[in-house]
Amino acid sequence: MITKFRGVRSITSQLGARRCSRLPFSTTASTHTALGQLTGPLPPYGRVGVARALEVSPTAEPTPTIFANEFSLADHVALVSGANRGIGLEMALALVEAGARSVYCLDLPQTPGEEWMKVNEFAKKLKGTGGEGRLEYISGDVTDQEAMWNVGKTIGDREGRMDICIAAAGILKGDTSCLTYPGKQFKQVIDVNVNGVLFTAQAAGQQMQRFGNGGSIIMIASISGHGANKGHPWTSYNTSKSAVLQMARSMACELGPQRIRVNTISPAYINTSMTGQFLATRPEVEEMWVEQHPLGRIGRPDELRGAAVWLASDASSFCTGSDFFVSGGYQAW
């Protein structure tokens, strides 16, 4: 479907006898109440893991919950920017496969490309996802704050919820010396990679706040935000991705009380279709990139799917303000 718009839980382990004796409450029903206040409310499906095993009836025939509940995105609604192709589209499809009922794919072109159209048809045919598996395309500019806010509100009005945001839109300009880097080009990179990420997070976060169900905001950072890229003068890109890391940490601290989690994923070199076209003309660069990864290769877009679904789901309910390397060990040297 194509749509155009204008413009936690953690389980407290059993406390030792010495520590329990110091608790300012008795070890009765009030204990469970106090511990519940400390660890937050249970998800709708209740206890999982060891806590569930200890409470289940001896005559019960339990079934696994790890994928049916913790990792499930059933009935969830998501907004993914930069999702016409590449990493954004890969993550949008992963959310559908995990059960999300609708994933709104926002990108700059007025109409989606052939890659998106094929993926959309594939998503419609998926069986057993636990949701409707609906992808929707939105034409929008992430650097237009008002338009992005309107996109978020329109999705909220239509769906009645907002659960997930993946800010994946970004640009990388060619090699340019830092001493002669054009200010106009630098501003363009910052507008998309920093302001655009903020405006996307705001669009979704406002709706998460509106409905009061919490949510997960995932920003795509980069190994380039942790250090310079050997052999590449990418001052603007590296600066922008470093800003994304700090933005996520700051927002995580501010939004934590509302159960809105904010995290980042830092990929290393990923072989998207755009990257492949670049490397086809620069084979020496491909060799250099491969050597910089302990795994001896660069990554595939699908290798980001697991991290994205984990961060979007209850499986990561005690995780916020963190960055996750999906880098083939790039940063481990």
Of 148, 165, 149, 168, the closest CA to residue 262 belongs to 165
Quickly state the pLDDT bin for 18 (edges 50, 70, 90): very low
> Could you list the active site residues?
237, 241
Domain ranges of the chain: 73-332
| Least confident range of 77-86, 121-130, 319-328 | 121-130
Q: Is the pLDDT of residue 255 over 90?
A: yes
Using one digit for the tens of pLDDT, what is the confidence trace for 88-109? Answer: 999 999 999 999 999 999 999 9
pLDDT digits (tens, 9 = 90+) for 196-223: 999 999 999 999 999 999 999 999 999 9
What is the pTM assigned to this prediction? 0.87
**What DSSP letter does each residue of 212-277 carry, written as one string?**
TS-EEEEEE--GGGTSPPTT---HHHHHHHHHHHHHHHHHHHHHGGGTEEEEEEEE--B--HHHHH
Whether the per-residue pLDDT at 127 is higher than 90: the answer is no
- List, for residues 296-328, the tens digit of each pLDDT value: 999 999 999 999 999 999 999 999 999 999 999
pLDDT at site 21 = 38
Whether CATH 3.40.50.150 fits 73-332? no
